[in-house]
Structures are given as structure tokens and as C-alpha cells.
Homo-oligomer: A and B are copies of this chain.
Amino acid sequence: MTALKEPVQTADIQTALVPVSVVYGDGIGPEIMGATLRILAAAGAQIAPQEVRMGEALYKAGHTSGFAPDAWDMLRQTGIMLKAPITTPQGGGYKSLNVTLRKTLGLYANVRPCRAYAPYVPTHHPDMNLVIIRENEEDLYAGIEHRQTREVMQCLKLITRPGCEKIVRYAFEYARANGRKKVTALTKDNIMKMCDGLFHTVFDEISAEYPDIKAEHQIIDIGTARVAARPEAYDVIVTLNLYGDIISDVAAEVAGSVGLAGSANIGDTFAMFEAIHGSAPDLAGQDAANPGGLISAAALMLGHLGQHEVAAKVQNALLCALEDGMHTQDIAGPHTKEVLGTQAFADAVIERLGRVPQHLPAVTAEAQAKEMPVRQPTTPAYIDKQLVGTDVFFEWTDSGRDPDVLAAILQEAQLRNIPLKMITNRGVKVWPGGLPETFKSDHWRCRFQSDTPVKHGDLLALLIRVHDKGLDFIKTEHLYTFDGEPGYSLGQGQ
């Protein structure tokens, strides 16, 4: 991990302490944070932790976002955060704090190094050493959900071109700065040809600017399976948010333990570092949790702050402890000599500060020190956009859910220049020419489309006529062309 921009605090790094926001978290959070901060202090990290309160207690105090109102100002002052895991209370109305943090602060890149510590931590894949660069702000995690009929829930998957550009470019810059040779993109663009297709297109565009890095693309299901079975074949992986969420856990698990992996969340002006595991409320207060993930995250943070010597010192002490068989219960195996609690494990790391591992590859400050340039997404050339129709969605259960009946009603309402072209149910065309076997929910998508551009006013006139028929229209999705290309998919069976 290297500094992305000049962090404001690094100029006088040898003489002053860098303020760092610290969140103690919920569940096992306070224990592993305490252990980690003790190690950082003993290692000589030039940081001044400042506690920021967020998490379960604030949710329960009525803050649906999990933050105290002054948290943003405190975070903005430091620009950097070390965070223990948070518990989001069960039940409706609470937003995921992690998602809000990432998105509000523009932490677009989630960086997860996953490596084996064989033979000291059991794994089937002793040679694996990959980094997952996960898009961190978009996709289904926008959290835009609507229940529109009695039977149907909807969530919007949103993918943006600038979002794709930022994450793909980050992946290639990361590969170059860290001496890695290959970037693999994972998408499901054989199904989601527009959303995932955009990511793939941007990947192809940007990879052409990095001829020194090998670029390849795989379908996510096959790619995840290969990461599970042959992770040593991967180097850097870049992918969309949901896929990255899944594959990050797969990679950490087959590497040996989720408990040892840290991650960085990188934005243009802010960065957050955390363990990849959760708050494990059932382990809380037992001095049983593995602080290794948060220690790894803290080392990533020190590298980001330019404190490469201290970062290497912490990582090497952690490797020494693992080599010496000093293990917490979650990673116990044939090479374990002592099963330690949280604080005893931290003590074992502290005792080994200054040593370098004998068998596992040692970390050097120099290997981490390359700069990564930051480039903003391109502003695309002018794109001609034309409105050509709309998909109107209805809740409708009359007439035995016969699509021909619905079509007849809508044809009475349609405007001459924007006729009804198609009805689908759960994406499958049911009119014209539907099949009786197709299951029909109460959620109907009805496409009104013109051969020539129309105006928003035309669509409003259409909606008024539809409304006059007494139908419950629940949503619309307008149809556009972009430089003459349709901006909408066909119905299945169309």
C-alpha cells in the first residue's frame, strides 16, 4: 500500500504524530482494537489516535446511520481511520454504516491482499498471494429498494462509467506500483450485458494503456470457482461490489483464515482501514478473538501514511509470531505451539518487534514505497440522447392475470405514435405471443415505444390516459437511445 496523494500530515512525519480517527467498534471490536493499538505504540508508530464514536450504541440511540452528528467533522479533520467491526442491529430502518462510510466519503476502492501463511496456518494453497480490488460504492449496495406490489420487491443495481473508470484504473496503477504482473476482471456480462458490459468495456479501454500488465476477463461464477480451487493462478483481481464482497471472503477463507486479513478502503481524500471479519458478538468479552486482521489493516494504514519502516516492523513481527506457532484458536493447527488469547497474542507480536521471519518472506520498507498517481475519470465526448418511449410497470391481478386482457386495456389508452410493443412478467415476454406455462406475478412491465423521438410531454399524456383506465402504475423506466444505440434491453423471448 502506498500513499495515493500527499497526506497533509506526512510532511513532518519524523517529528509530529499524525492524528488518526479510531473506532473501537462493537462485539470483539474493543478487544482487538486495544491489542492493535498497543502493538502500534510499541512499534513506534507516529500516530495520535482520536476516538470517533459510531456503531450499535448510536443506532440504538436513534441515529439510523449509526453516527453521532459530529462524526463527519472529526473524520474530515484526520482524513484517515482505523476501524474495528461494527454491529448493525437487526430489524428495519438501520442503514449499513460501512456502506454509508464508503459511499459518503468516496472510498471507491476496497483493497484486500490475501496470502497464505503456509505451513504455519493450514491451507490447501500455500502459494496463493493475490490482491482483490473491489469497487466499493455502486452496484446493488446503493440500497435503493422498493416494494411495489403485494408480491414483488425490487432493488436497483446501478453501475456508472466514472465509477468503473476509477476502480479499473486503480487496479492497474496498484499492479504497477506493487510489482504485480496481471489484472483479472470478473463480471457477469453474459447476462447483464449493459451494467456488467460497461465494466468490461471500460476494463478493455484502460487495460490498453498498461501494456506492461497482462489483462484478462472471466465470468464471475467461473472466476470465483477458480479462485476457490486454484487461487495461485491469480495476481490482481478487479470486480464489481457484490462479486468482490463474495470473492474476497472466498479468497481469505481458502488462504487460511478470515481472521488474519485486513483491508484498505481508499478514496481521493480519505482512507479507512479495517479487518475483513465481522464483530462476532458471540465471542465478545472472552479475550478469544484474533487481532491479526486489524493488525494487518493497521500495517496497511502505516504504509498509506508513508511510515513504511514501522509498517514492515509490525508485519514482520506478526509473521514471526505465526512462524513460532503463537496462534489464536481460529488458526490453530499442526504448527501451533500455544493457543493464545487476544491480548497474549498481541504480547507475542510485541515481543517479536524488530525480528524478521525465518521462513515466511520478510516484508521490507522499500518494497512498499512506490507512488500511485491519481487520475480523475474522463469526461466523455458529447453523446446524443433521444427519448423514444417508456416502460410502465403495473400491479395487476384481474382477469386471471391474462396478459391479452391487460394488453387490450393498454391499447385503448396508448397514443397513436407510442404504441404498446411488449408486456413482460419477471422479464419474460408474455405479450404478444406469450406461452401459457409462464408463471405470472402481479408485476407487469409494459413497453410503449415509438419509432421516432418523442417528448416527455407525450409520456405524461400517455400516463394520464393509462391512469384514466384505473390501472395502478407503480413505476416508469424511460427508453432512450444514445448516439442512436438503444439504451434498453429486449424482453426475454422477444
Contacts and interface: CB of A to CB of B under 8 A. Distances in A.
A245 B192 CA distance: 14
Nearest to A137: B426
Q: How many copies does the complex hold?
A: 2
Q: In terms of DSSP, what is the predominant structure of the interface of chain A? A: mixed
Interface residues of A, number: 114
A485 B140 CA distance: 22
A401 B2 CA distance: 31
A191 interface: yes
Contact of A193 (B92, B220, B229, B383): B92
Given A140-B191, A141-B427, A142-B424, 11 more contacts: A104-B428, A146-B478, A153-B194, A153-B197, A154-B195, A188-B245, A224-B250, A246-B246, A456-B467, A460-B464, A475-B477
A249 B221 contact: yes
B153 A198 contact: yes
Interface string A462-494: 011001000011111111101001011111111
- Of A145, A380, A476, most buried by chain B (CB within 10 Å of CB) is A145
A449 interface: no
Contacts of A198: 153
B158 A494 contact: no
Nearest to A395: B385
A424 B156 CA distance: 13
Nearest to A474: B478
A443 B253 contact: no
Given A437-B104, A494-B64, A226 B253 contact: yes
Contact of A157 (B154, B222, B225, B249): B154
Contacts of A160: 151-153, 426, 441, 443
Contact of A155 (B99, B157, B443, B480): B157
A85 to B, nearest CB: 13
Interface string A65-92: 1000000100010000000000010001
Given A190-B96, A473-B456, A441 B492 contact: no
A460 B465 CA distance: 11
Given A142-B426, A426-B137, A475-B478, A162 B439 contact: yes
Interface of A: 64-65, 72, 76, 88, 92-93, 95-96, 99-100, 103-106, 108, 124, 137-138, 140-148, 150-163, 188, 190-195, 197-198, 220-222, 224-226, 228-229, 242-243, 245-246, 248-250, 252-254, 258, 267, 269-270, 380, 383, 385, 391, 395, 424, 426-428, 435, 437-439, 441, 443, 445, 456-457, 460, 463-464, 467, 472-480, 482, 485, 487-494
Given A147-B482, A228-B250, A242-B188, A100 B493 contact: yes
A195 B140 CA distance: 11
B479 A146 contact: yes
Nearest to A244: B221
A414 to B, nearest CB: 17
A258 B221 CA distance: 12
B161 A154 contact: no
Contacts of A157: 140, 154-157
A246 B228 CA distance: 11
Contacts of A72: 435
Contacts of A193: 92, 145
Contacts of A463: 460, 463
Contacts of A76: 437
A249 B270 contact: no
A97 to B, nearest CB: 10
